[in-house]
Each structure stands twice: as C-alpha cells, then as structure tokens.
Amino acid sequence: MRFFSSASVAPSGSSQFRRSRSRLAAASPIAITRGSSTGSAPGGPAAEENPEITGWYAGLIRHVFLSNAELFGYLVAFGEVFVGAALILGFLTRFSAAMGLVMSFAYLFAGTSGDNPLMVLLALPIVLVGVSAGYYGIDRYLLPFLRERRARGAGTRQSMVGSR
C-alpha cells in the first residue's frame, strides 16, 4: 500500500521539476488559473460558480495561493517528490503519509478529483497503523535510535533537575 501511494505521488512532482521555470507555477494543481488571469480563479470576480469549491477555500486560493503562485508551485513539486521518496524508502512513514494526506485534501478542496480520493483511502491507514507502518524501511532502524536518544536526553534532564 505504501509503495502504491508513493508511486503515484512522486512522478507528478518529478514531472513538474522537468518543466521550464516559467511554467512551473502554472503547472501546479493549486495554481490552476495562473496562466491567463487571477480574476478567473475560484472566488475571483470573473469566476463562474463552482459547487465543488467552498467559498472560504476559493478565497484562500485567490488571496494566498495565486498571489504566491511561484512559491507554491515549488512547494508542491518538492513536497510531492519528497513524500513519494520517503514513502518508498520508509523514512518517517507516518509523517510522510500525513503530509500526503494534507496535499490530497488540498487538491480535493480545490475541486480536483483524479486519484486523490484513492490516495486518501491509502494514506489514512498508514497514518493510523502506528510504528509498524515503517517496519520494512528506514524507520525500522531510525525510530528505535531516536527513542533511545530521547530517553537518554530525558534521563539527563531529570538528573539535572533532581540534583538541585
């Protein structure tokens, strides 16, 4: 399940990297209407009514995402690649799946469909399953190391507090 969800996220982000810099922001799913006019963006003065997009999210798209379209274009591209790579490698699996969920919900709120509902259904169990989600991957070795290091740090702090 982890490999399937990452296999469909990573290619879309890497394809955005291959596009020219001037077209990167326009290729972002968040900046759908950047090419012609921000007025036709959801919530904009020239926008048609779209029952799939709520009013608050249309305002967020128009005032935050489109006004910073180039920045969000890069964030989406890097985010998709990093989430896909982390899920394939099993690196911070629960956090990576949660960030994939955040991106999928952002696309769903923006009115796109595609395979985003499927990605939500696949990523949600990864987030909820616990530490066993990264059993086959880097998390198998990383998480015990971090827990041990954290326990040593907490023990050191307690001895410092107790000695006062």
Give me the percent of the chain exceeding a pLDDT of 90.
Answer: 34
Mean pLDDT of 113-141: 87
Q: 20: left (phi > 0), else alpha (psi -120 to 50), else beta? A: beta
Residue 114 has pLDDT above 90, yes or no: no
Mean pLDDT of 106-129: 87
Question: Is the pTM for the entire model greater than 0.85?
Answer: no
Q: What pLDDT shows up at residue 139?
A: 93
> What is the sign of the dihedral through the CA atoms of 112, 114, 115 and 118?
positive
Quick one: pLDDT band at residue 135, thresholds 50, 70, 90? confident
Q: What pLDDT shows up at residue 71?
A: 96
Cβ–Cβ < 8 Å for 70, 89: no
Mean pLDDT of 47-58: 76
Supply the DSSP symbol for 131.
G
